[in-house]
């Protein structure tokens, strides 16, 4: 399965932007890039996904490199509630469903 690489941890301050990087050099042309986050004692929560173009939604923005070998999740103004583990995942099509294989993720700490 195609693999993603993320920093183990990052730290930022409240109300500042946060840029979470992800490398996926073995991505294939049909793999979508998905981001999820997991707050303590909860299941993972979908954040955003994209294929080639940059994407924006109410939670975050996703910037995808032109060669698609890396991407960056952008939280525009971090709050304390954004402290979580963030997973960058390549969605693989498989037998009529999606296959999401989680990497180690980045633990994001937000300082007040």
Partner 1 sequence: DTEVTQTPKHLVMGMTNKKSLKCEQHMGHRAMYWYKQKAKKPPELMFVYSYEKLSINESVPSRFSPECPNSSLLNLHLHALQPEDSALYLCASSQVLSGTTGGYTFGSGTRLTVV
Q: How many CA atoms lie within 13 A of 68 on its CB side?
A: 16
- In the complex, the smallest distance separating the C-beta of residue 102 from partner 1, rounded to whole angstroms, is 4
- Among positions 23-42, residues that touch partner 1 (CB under 8 A) are 32, 34, 36, 41-42
Q: Which one among 87, 106, 108, 110 touches partner 1, defined by CB under 8 A?
A: 87
Q: What's the maximum distance between 2 C-alpha atoms anywhere in the chain? A: 45
Q: Cβ-count burial of 55 within 10 angstroms (0-12 exposed, 13-18 middle, 19+ buried)?
A: middle
Distance between CA atoms of 95 and 112, rounded to whole angstroms?
A: 45
Distance between CA atoms of 79 and 29, rounded to whole angstroms?
A: 34
**Residues 39-68, mask of contacts with partner 1 (x by CB under 8 A):** --xxxxxxx-x-------------------
Q: Which stretch binds partner 1 (CB under 8 A): 7-15, 18-26, 70-78, 87-95?
A: 87-95
The contact set with partner 1 (CB under 8 A) reads 32, 34, 36, 41-47, 49, 87, 91, 93-105
């Amino acid at each position: 399965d195609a693999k993603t690489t993320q920093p183990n941890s990052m730290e930022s301050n409240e109300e500042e932007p946060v840029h979470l990087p992800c490398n996926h050099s073995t991505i294939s042309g049909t793999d979508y890039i998905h981001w999820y986050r997991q707050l303590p004692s909860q299941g993972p929560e979908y954040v955003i996904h994209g294929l080639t173009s940059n994407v924006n939604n109410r939670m975050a923005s996703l910037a995808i490199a032109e060669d698609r070998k890396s991407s960056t999740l952008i939280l525009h103004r971090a709050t304390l509630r954004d402290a979580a583990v963030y997973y960058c995942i390549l969605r693989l099509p498989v037998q009529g469903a999606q296959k999401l294989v989680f990497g180690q993720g980045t633990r994001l700490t937000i300082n007040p």
